[in-house]
Amino acid sequence: MKRRAFLGGVAGLACGTAAAAAKKASACEGVEAALSGTGDLGLIVERADGSILVVNTSRPQVVSKVENLGDLSHASAVFSRDQRFAYLFGRDGGLSKVDLVSARIETRVIQAGNSIGGAISDDGTIIAVANYEPGGVRLFDAETLAPLTEIAAEYAPGVRSKTVGIADVPGRRFVFSLYDAGEIWIADCANPSKPAVQRLKNIGRLPYDGLVTPSGRHYFAGLFGEDGLAHVDLWAPEPEARKILVGYGKGEEKLPVYKMPHLRGWAQAGDRLLLPAIGRHEVLVADSRTLDEAGRIQVHGQPVFIVARPDGRHAWVIFAHPRNDTVQVIDTVALRVIHEMRPGPAVLHMEFTPRGHQVWISVRDADRVDVYDTQTFAKVAELPARKPSGIFFTARAQRIGM
Amino acid sequence: MKRRAFLGGVAGLACGTAAAAAKKASACEGVEAALSGTGDLGLIVERADGSILVVNTSRPQVVSKVENLGDLSHASAVFSRDQRFAYLFGRDGGLSKVDLVSARIETRVIQAGNSIGGAISDDGTIIAVANYEPGGVRLFDAETLAPLTEIAAEYAPGVRSKTVGIADVPGRRFVFSLYDAGEIWIADCANPSKPAVQRLKNIGRLPYDGLVTPSGRHYFAGLFGEDGLAHVDLWAPEPEARKILVGYGKGEEKLPVYKMPHLRGWAQAGDRLLLPAIGRHEVLVADSRTLDEAGRIQVHGQPVFIVARPDGRHAWVIFAHPRNDTVQVIDTVALRVIHEMRPGPAVLHMEFTPRGHQVWISVRDADRVDVYDTQTFAKVAELPARKPSGIFFTARAQRIGM
């Protein structure tokens, strides 16, 4: 085995930075363990405690714990390009940058009174947070969390809207919806101190969440106040919102809606989109090209999250209270349920390993995260966690629209 | 800022491993630089020298150099799940595991006389190498490179075929083609010491390369000895090969074929597949659902690589000698060339950053790798490299079929 740091003098090379550091590190006994990759890390939100567990998905194991992260109900996370840092968006307006390697909070700011989620720009330099109060999107330097600017969601003189459903799209852009205004805004942040905002008006009443497809092409907003969804083709020369899937999830025998489904709980699987039929024990299937309805699948309860295995061959579904102890697996070609399991009380979230060989499932009221083999459906590990909710792996750093 | 390693005694937790190491590390002055993420690393093959440059795509910069890697002509690379290690497949049958963080060769074996490429299983535990001599696929433990078993490509008693076009698909499987036999084999390596092999025969004459789509669903093999391509739908209950795109790239005024196009140089962009028309100055467009031809685009030369920007909105094309000083960019909706640039002599390879904000291009005879902004087409960096060929970023670890 050879080991040669490149110490030649070619202009423009920042030679040997990591290699030199590694050489120094290896002089420090025991430090080798710290020289690890970060591609297989992730985090589990412990909602009640305001803490996260840092996990390694190769072993699979809990590696460390980071506390004092504030109110983490409905918290979500995005990751730095190098997959070392997590950015956590708390409901209390807290934005925390956590170093997953050293298990410490790098920086933490309370950036608003009440926030709902965030995103990181395609080049990894800008963090955007969608706020309820004050209504708008705030931009931060991803390195330091220094504020860059605010896009106030002022849709009429002096009147601001709550913002929801924010997602990154290519070209240092973010797309989000204005709940009170019924608008979708596309913010080009090539100049992050002065974003150029395109406003799409009259997209429908009360958009409550939004998502983009993995290509960044299609943005969908769920409408609380109307039948159907708003859709924007971001590849169009002049993007505009149109109503799709009118009648979406409506039927004769409507059930009470226990929980608004997350739009992020949609699945794109091959040529199909799978989405929750609101208030019904059904998964709605749409053709991903025409966006027309292409079928319905009867399931165990009201779907909350439908998540495609990364290859799209299967989609896993979890349900609203009181039927939230169960997970079902759908064959996305045959469009039927092929497997069912009952992990335990209050199944809240699922995250697949990047190429989909395993899935992690949080079972809140069992204080446990279970890991399953997605081919055999066998449980391969149980990890203790206190009231676990969201699970997020660092490979999200490399995906569009997370 | 708080920093608390989790040292509680909950059973099953491997508490504080990384955090403890980090604490130790921070006691070692200057070692912090080694505590870095690996999500934004990559490598550039310096073909003539048998060396690689380790690069960081966030800065962008060359970080270090690793030498003594043997014959790297046509070399390719895959990455470990943690994105710390690269596995390099050399033409001389060499298989090298390189630590990108410490810039040293971890393990290196000469595993065959002549090999053409390799893959890593979806769970990151198995390295598979497709060999010409002796013909077949060898499996290795990804941790140690200890041999696991060999799948001899014996298609008639005592007669072995060269193997080509190997790709990983979900379920610890690999798919590859037998050049001499005209077969496609699907190897299920759930038990890696005894793989279960499914043989598809009579797929067409002389398959010279193969690829799978990003979902792992469709495998294509290019046929040297016939018109058309072989296609296998791996999601079918009983996968079988069928001939598609018959007449592919054929025409009245055939040009001499300067270089067989790489099948890996195909692009899937939204609903379309873009592929090189063999021996012509054209890109062929196929519908990704029906696989029927959907158009042709006139381009600067004979395409060698057509690579979709990760969102699929554009595809970048490089060409065969003697027209290999040029790059063209195709709008995948309008299906026309929208930009052209001339980086310099012998443009050999391109690699996009994971969400596509930049692209790295090797310009062999200028001893340079150029980095371009994919929105503005402006050159943002030039990195010196000796006769650079392939460029591979660690985010490939998280993609199916690389």
Domains present along chain A, CATH in parentheses = 111-258 (2.130.10.10)
Interchain contact B294–A (C-beta under 8 A): no
Residue A1, pLDDT score: 31
Average pLDDT over residues A168-173: 98
Give me the DSSP letters along B320-367. -TTSTT-EEEEETTTTEEEEEE---S-EEEEEE-TTSSEEEEEEGGGT
Please identify which residue in the block is written with the tokens 């395609």: A122
Tell me the sheet residues that pair with A383. Answer: A369
Residue owning tokens 């050879």: A2
ipTM value: 0.90
CA–CA separation, B160 vs B137, rounded Å? 11
Q: How far apart are CA A276 and CA A258, in angstroms?
A: 13
DSSP, residue by residue, B214-234: TTS-EEEEEESSSSSEEEEET
Which residues does chain B have within 8 Å of residue A27's beta carbon, measured at their own beta carbons? 28
Q: In whole angstroms, what is the distance from residue B236 CA to residue B169 CA?
A: 14
Using a pLDDT cut of 90, give the percent of chain A over it.
Answer: 76
- How far does A55 lie from chain B, in Å, by closest CA? 10
The DSSP secondary-structure symbol of A3 reads B
The closest alpha carbon to B307, from B376, B254, B248, B374, belongs to B374
* Residue A253: CB atoms within 10 Å: 6
pLDDT score recorded for residue B114: 85
* Cβ pair B255, B241 in contact under 8 A: no
Integer Cα distance of A314 and A269 in angstroms: 8
For residue B264, is pLDDT > 90? no
User: In chain B, which residues have their Cβ closer than 8 Å to the Cβ of A109?
Assistant: none
CB A201 within 8 A of CB A236: no
Would the pLDDT of A33 be above 90?
Answer: no
Give the span between the Cα atoms of A142 and A79, in whole angstroms.
Answer: 10
Grade residue B28 by pLDDT with cuts at 50, 70 and 90.
Answer: very low
Most A CBs within 10 A among B31, B55, B399, hence the mutation to make, goes to: B31
Using alpha carbons, list the distances in angstroms from residue B185 to B142, B179, B230, B291.
22, 11, 13, 22
CA distance A300 to A282: 8
pLDDT-derived band at B261 (thresholds 50, 70, 90) equals low
- Dist CA B175 CA B187 (whole Å): 6
A214 pLDDT higher than 70: yes
Residue ranges with strand state E in A145-191: 147-152, 154-156, 159-160, 163-169, 173-178, 183-188
Interval B252-277 mean pLDDT:
69
Place A263 in a pLDDT band, splitting at 50, 70 and 90: low
Q: What's the confidence (pLDDT) of residue A245?
A: 85
Tokens 């041999």 belong to: B147
CB contact under 8 A, A39 and B1: no
Q: Where residue B251 falls among pLDDT bands split at 50, 70, 90?
A: very low
Could you tell me which chain A residue has the CA closest to the CA of B308? A215
- A30 Cβ contact partners less than 8 Å away, ≥ 6 residues apart: B21, B24
Q: Give the per-residue pLDDT at A385.
A: 98
> How many angstroms separate the CA of residue B311 from the nearest CA in chain A?
4
Residue A379, classed as helix, strand or coil, is strand
Listed range (A13-27, A94-108, B95-109, B216-230) with the worst mean pLDDT: A13-27
Which residues in chain A have their CB less than 8 angstroms from residue B16's CB?
63-64, 103
The mean per-residue pLDDT over the stretch B125-141 comes to 97
CA distance B298 to B281: 6
Measured between beta carbons, the chain A residues lying within 8 angstroms of B58 are 81-82, 124
Judge whether residue A71 has pLDDT over 80: yes
For residue A252, pLDDT over 50 is answered with no
- HSE of A275 in the Cβ direction (CA atoms, 13 Å)? 28
CB A102 to CB B35 under 8 A?
Answer: yes
User: Residue B271: its chain A contacts at CB < 8 A?
Assistant: 289
How many residues does the structure list for chain B? 402
- Top mean pLDDT of B23-32, B113-122, B156-165 is at B156-165
Nearest Cα of chain A lies from the Cα of B257 at a distance, in angstroms, of 34
Q: Smallest Cα–Cα separation from A142: which of A86, A187, A90, A193?
A: A86
Tokens of B17: 């491993």
Q: Does A124 touch chain B (CB under 8 A)?
A: yes
Q: How close are the terminal C-alpha atoms of chain B, in Å?
A: 40
Q: Categorize the per-residue pLDDT at A28 as very low, low, confident or very high, splitting at 50, 70 and 90.
A: very low
Residue B33 has pLDDT above 50, yes or no: no
Chain A CB within 8 Å of residue B239 CB = no
Residue B27 has φ and ψ, to the nearest 5°, of -75, -20
Contacts of A399 in chain B (CB under 8 A): 354-355
Is 70 exceeded by the pLDDT of residue A193?
yes
* B311 contacts in chain A (CB < 8 Å): 169-170, 215-217, 400
> CB-based contact (8 Å) between B338 and chain A?
no
DSSP symbols for A281-347: SEEEEEETTT--EEEEEE-SS-EEEEEE-TTSSEEEEEE-TTSTT-EEEEETTTTEEEEEE---S-E
With bands split at pLDDT 50, 70 and 90, how would you rate the model's confidence at B262?
low
Residue B249 pLDDT more than 60?
no
Percent of chain B with pLDDT over 70: 87
Contact across the interface for B84 and A58, Cβ inside 8 Å? no
Q: DSSP 3-state assignment of B32?
A: helix
Report the greatest alpha carbon distance in chain A. Answer: 75
Residue contact A18–B101, C-beta within 8 A: yes
Bond before B345 cis per omega within 30 degrees: no
Q: What is the pLDDT of residue B113?
A: 85
Q: Encoding tokens for residue B85?
A: 């290690």
Answer whether B57 sits within 8 Å of A12, measured CB to CB: no
Rounded distance, CA B348 to CA B277, Å?
A: 18
Q: What percent of chain A has pLDDT over 70?
A: 87
The model's confidence at residue B247, banded by pLDDT at 50, 70 and 90, is confident
Task: Compute CA distances B202 → A164, B12, B159, B244, whole Å.
Answer: 55, 52, 16, 14
Taking contacts as CB-CB distances below 8 angstroms, the residues of chain A near B123 are: 353, 355, 357-358
What pLDDT, on the 0 to 100 scale, is given for residue A22? Answer: 42
Contact A355 B106 (CB under 8 A): no
Given an 8 Å threshold on Cβ–Cβ distance, is A375 in contact with B171? yes
Average pLDDT along chain A? 88
pLDDT digits (tens, 9 = 90+) for B64-92: 999 999 999 889 999 999 999 999 999 89
Closest Cβ–Cβ partner in B10, B84, B215 for A37: B84
pLDDT digits (tens, 9 = 90+) for B315-346: 999 999 999 999 999 999 999 999 999 999 99
Residue A291 pLDDT level (bands cut at 50, 70, 90): confident
Answer for the pair B218, B173: CB distance below 8 angstroms, yes or no. no
Which of A20, A34, A122 is opposite residue B18, by nearest beta carbon? A34
Q: A102 and B13 in contact by Cβ < 8 A?
A: no
Quick check: A141 pLDDT over 50? yes
Inter-chain contacts counted by CB atoms under 8 A, chains A and B: 357
Task: Name the residue with higher pLDDT: B9 or B388.
Answer: B388
Closest CB to B38: pick one of A30, A31, A38.
A38
Token reading at A307: 């998540």
Phi first, then psi, for residue B313 (nearest 5°) are: -70, -35
SS3 assignment, position A25: helix
A366 three-state secondary structure: helix
CB contact under 8 A, A383 and B3: no
Cα(A325)–Cα(A366) distance, rounded to whole angstroms?
Answer: 10
Q: Is the dihedral of CA A23, A28, A34, A36 positive or negative?
A: positive
Query: Is B310 part of the contact surface with chain A (CB cutoff 8 Å)?
Result: yes
Side-chain half-sphere CA neighbours of B174 within 13 A: 31
Of A82-96, A219-233, A259-273, B168-182, the range with the lowest mean pLDDT is A259-273
Cβ A227 vs Cβ A247: under 8 Å: yes
Tell me the shortest Cα–Cα distance from B181 to chain A, in angstroms: 29
Number of C-beta neighbours around residue B349 at 10 A: 23
DSSP code per residue over A88-154: EE-TTSEEEEEETTTTEEEEEEE-SSEEEEEEE-TTS-EEEEEEEETTEEEEEETTT--EEEEEE-E
Distance separating alpha carbons of residues B287 and B303, to the nearest angstrom = 19
Instruction: Indicate whether B141 pLDDT > 60.
Output: yes
Give dist(CA B27, CA A203) in Å, integer.
56
Q: What is the pTM of this model?
A: 0.91
Position B160 pLDDT exceeds 70: yes
Q: Which pLDDT score, from 0 to 100, does residue B289 have?
A: 85
Contact at CB, B82 and A309, closer than 8 angstroms: no
Reported as a pLDDT band with limits 50, 70 and 90, residue A262 is low
Contacts of A2 in chain B (CB under 8 A): 66-68, 104-105
Confidence of residue A250 (pLDDT cuts 50, 70, 90): low
B1 touches A: beta carbon within 8 Å = yes
Distance from CA of A258 to the nearest CA of B (A): 34
Token output for A380: 């391969």
pLDDT higher at B191 or B27: B191
First to last CA, chain A: 40
Q: Of the candidates B1, B101, B398, which has its C-beta nearest A354's C-beta?
A: B398
